[in-house]
Structure 1
Amino acid sequence: MARPTTLEKTTSLMHSLFYIISSNMPHVSTIIPTHNREEFIGRAIESVLEQTCSEFELLVVDDGSTDGTVDVVKAYSDDRVNCLTLDTNQGANAARNAGIQHATGEYITFLDSDDEYDSTFIETVIKSLTKAPDNIGGVYTSRRQVYEGNEVEIHFANQSLSNPQTVVHDYQAYGFSNWAFRADVFDQVGMLDETFPGLQDREFMIRYLREYDLQPINEILVTQYLHSGQMSTNSDRKLEALEGLLTKYSELFDEMAQAHVDYYRGWLYAKDGDIEMAQQYFWRSLRQQPFRPKYQLQAVASLFGQTGFKAINSLKQRTKYLIYQYR
């Protein structure tokens, strides 16, 4: 048998080195932006460390916290946990962008610091993405919302998205915590817009859907925790950001989109407890699109005051969950 040549030996060695290096590279980069979340950040980190898929790096980006958030993060000895710090509070998208720039994984996921993954989140999204065609740059999963220990809403991922108008017609993709992308998507779509005070997920998704499709994963793999102090502040920011979307993407807002915007405004006012303003916008959306069942439901529900509105929507959510469990 002929002995291998020097070139063959060199080539074999390079292949071996490449394999060793590449096998040690994180398969997934998970980015957690955080600001003054000392109370919650540990829960989010633990949910990542408990994943059934262990090939990841976790980039926690502290956005100028003034509490003990950084101390909590740095207390983790797991070498997959990395803490990046911004000197001043620049906003969640600035923190996410810093994470993207430092990410070394082939795939990128995000997790808000007061949310948590189910243990199979990373494994499930990566299996889906590795089998997806090139036009699928990302996936989104179903998620549950919890407020004061009670499950208040479930958002089901059951629709493939390909048209940016779906973001303003009837938003289905929900938000960063239940998204996962190929890392090269950000080279094509661009980074996240740091100027938006809210609805940052919608703004990015409009641009994303101009380049790629978004594939659903129906499993409930994320829990979003709502808490007092966050809700009214977020509503104010979202109302401001809504005007920004209307300006930046005015070409997308036809009559159907405007009806959805009014419906969304109604939801924000209802969450803030202003049922009278919510009622105005629900009925306004219904006048524009009178045959939409959910517009009909919320317009009628708003007639029963805040208590009745909550009760009707709680019943609606329990019904959706039962259908999901027994189908």
Structure 2
Amino acid sequence: MKSPLVTVYITNYNYEKYIEKAIESVLSQTMESYELFIIDDGSTDNSKTIIDRYRNNDNISIIYQQNKGLNITNNVAMRAANGKYLMRLDADDFLEKEALKKMSQALENDEKLGLVFPDYYYVDADGNRTGIEQRHNFEKEVSLYDQPAHGACTMIRLEFLKDLGGYNESFTCQDGYDLWIKFITNHKVSNINTPLFSYRRHGQNLTTNEDKILKTRKQIKSVFVNEHFHSPKTLGIIPVRNTFIGDINLPLFEIEGKSLLERKIESCLKSRKLNHLVISSANEDILNYARSKFQQNDRISIIERPKAFAEKNQSLNDTITQSLAFEKEKERIYQTIMTISLEYPFLEAETIDEAIDTLTLFKSDAVLSVRPDNRLYYQHTGETLKPILDQEKFTKLEREALYKGVGGIVLSTVKNFQKHGMLTKGRISHIVVDQKTSFGIFSKFDFELFRSIIHQTELQ
């Protein structure tokens, strides 16, 4: 019997409400050369009854297993697959009729192509379309690959996947991100600028658990970089102004026995990839405080900068240049530099390390810490307020997505900084930080909220 061109597998856990639609969307494909595995991971609802209706279909194989998790399930499908190409469909999503045909054609037409992924529709719990996600055109617009494909409905060349060792079973989510990093490092990837599946948003999606997703992405990057790359030697710089909020001296005000500055420095020192830290200030009280706490720490330099460098509208370029020159005199040379803002009190060492891993992995010149910003922004035209972008429109274009710089990290290669005279030039990649990390202290209200959070944390 001739092997199918494509192996599709549906992963299901307690999606009795949606599983039939997913299965039927595969059976309705215009392409006939496929096989379908339905893998149920220990459902406790009525899923089994629905799945068993398809037991006699020659194109369908059914696997029942007990709570193995997504990545183990992905490897089960990889080993069972007879097709040349492999694609996962989540049980709550469904395909357009041409999906398998168009994606497999793209792979057939380019033997160097490792994976291909399409645009997609957003649908609600009842299957009503609410939008379209339209990605960049990979043939014309993309040279920085830090925006991964959606994990599901990405078609993969099975031979390449096996050569790369399959899926890392130590991760319980973000299989698509793990896969993406492996493929962009070793093979060509591309997309089809046509929506070929529907992604259902119903409030129970794993992708709504942001903290877990971001934590897992950090771990995936860390594992891959540690196995395949050497991390650059990195200098961190904390520029400290004598900032007051009302009568509160922000850097030196102590909460639960520690100042904001001390907390920030201790967080930075926990980083595994930040080699050295500079505390730069023009204020004598801040300098004396830093010396009293950290003068003996050989990972820290405390530098007095000229008052002109610390003016409010002054860029950090002179401070960075001074810090690099100081370190060079100490015979310490760095490949990358990172500025770390004091005003973001919840930045953790793992996020600092993620920024360095991101620059290493994507070979970018700089990295910013950001959050996606879906709020509406307006400009006054003199006659009315007009949206800057029509962010409520049905088709969501990746090139129009907005990001807000938060978290207080700017990382650049030294070469990039010296070439452009600033950090934020060249190819700029990004890390998405969680909501807590994005919190900054810029007002009395922010400060009181910070104090309350710290107090509650200390009580736990």
TM-score bin, normalised by smaller chain: 0.5 to 0.7
1:94-109 matches, cutoff 5 A: 94-109=72-87
What is the match of residue 152 of structure 2? 176
- In structure 2, relative to structure 1, the CA distance for the partners of 1:113 and 1:157 (3 Å cut) is farther
What is the match of residue 63 of structure 1? 41
The 8 Å contact of residues 61 and 96 in structure 1, kept in 2 or not, is answered as: no
Which is bigger in relative contact order (C-alpha 8 A, separation at least 6)?
Answer: 1
Write the deviation string for residues 284-323 of structure 1: whole angstroms up to 9, x where unpaired: 479668689999xxxxxx9xxxxxxxxxxxxxxxxxxxxx
Does residue 151 in structure 1 map to residue 274 in structure 2?
A: no
- In structure 2, relative to structure 1, the CA distance for the partners of 1:232 and 1:175 (3 Å cut) is closer
Q: Look up the SS of the partner of 1:175 in the other structure.
A: coil
- In structure 2, relative to structure 1, the CA distance for the partners of 1:166 and 1:66 (3 Å cut) is farther
The 8 Å contact of residues 32 and 111 in structure 1, kept in 2 or not, is answered as: yes
The 8 Å contact of residues 119 and 132 in structure 2, kept in 1 or not, is answered as: no
Q: CA deviation at 1:192?
A: 0.8
Q: CA deviation at 1:117?
A: 0.8
5+ residue gaps in structure 1?
A: 1-20, 271-278, 296-301, 303-327
**TM-score, normalization by structure 2:** 0.49
What is the match of residue 207 of structure 1? 182
Bigger-Rg structure (1/2):
2
**TM-score, normalization by structure 1:** 0.68
- In structure 2, relative to structure 1, the CA distance for the partners of 1:128 and 1:280 (3 Å cut) is closer
Count of paired positions: 257
The 8 Å contact of residues 22 and 94 in structure 2, kept in 1 or not, is answered as: yes
The 8 Å contact of residues 121 and 129 in structure 2, kept in 1 or not, is answered as: no
2:358 corresponds to which of 253, 267, 271: 253
What is the match of residue 218 of structure 1? 193
For 1:216 and 1:285, the matched residues in 2 are separated by 33
1:183-198 matches, cutoff 5 A: 183-198=158-173
What is the match of residue 85 of structure 1? 64
The 8 Å contact of residues 11 and 89 in structure 2, kept in 1 or not, is answered as: yes
Query: Aligned letter for 1:27?
Result: L
For 1:29 and 1:138, the matched residues in 2 are separated by 14
The 8 Å contact of residues 198 and 240 in structure 1, kept in 2 or not, is answered as: no
What is the match of residue 125 of structure 1? 103
1:240-279 matches, cutoff 5 A: 240-250=215-225, 251=231, 252-254=357-359, 259=367, 262-263=369-370, 266-267=371-372
More helix by share: 1
For 1:246 and 1:268, the matched residues in 2 are separated by 24
Q: CA deviation at 1:84?
A: 0.7
The 8 Å contact of residues 358 and 367 in structure 2, kept in 1 or not, is answered as: no
Does residue 73 in structure 1 map to residue 51 in structure 2?
A: yes
Query: Aligned letter for 1:92?
Result: L
For 1:242 and 1:138, the matched residues in 2 are separated by 20
Q: Look up the SS of the partner of 1:111 in the other structure.
A: strand
More strand by share: 2
What is the match of residue 89 of structure 2? 111
Query: Aligned letter for 2:113?
Result: I
Tell me how large the CA RMSD over aligned residues is: 3.5
Q: Look up the SS of the partner of 2:186 in the other structure.
A: coil
